[in-house]
Amino acid sequence: MSFAFVDIKTKLNFEELVAVLSGELCGGIPLGGLEESIRDEVPAVFTLKTFLGICVVLYGGDGDYSIQLFGDDDYSPNSEF
């Protein structure tokens, strides 16, 4: 179960937002998993390693995105969220 959820509206495309999220929020931790299709209807990525016990998931498209934060024990790429 996630413990934080944020909706974002931006003019950035998905790849640009991934770069900003990785560099600015996650301290350079890469995001991946796009090929794992963790969200069927929209692109989604997650931090490839946790930081401070947190896994970050970003998903969405067309300027409407969401970020969810999970404790590292509460999230795996195959879980539903």
**Predicted model pTM:** 0.85
What pLDDT score was predicted for residue 41?
Answer: 86
pLDDT, block means (10 residues), the chain with 81 residues = 89 96 93 88 92 92 94 65 46
Using alpha carbons, select from 56, 49, 51, 52 the residue that is nearest to residue 70. Answer: 56
Q: Answer for the pair 29, 12: CB distance below 8 angstroms, yes or no.
A: no
What is the DSSP annotation of 9-78?
E-SS-HHHHHHHIIIIISTT--EE-GGG-SSSSS-EEEESS-BTTEEEEEEEETTEEEEEEEETTT--TT
Return the domain boundaries, the chain.
Answer: 4-71
pLDDT of residue 81: 46
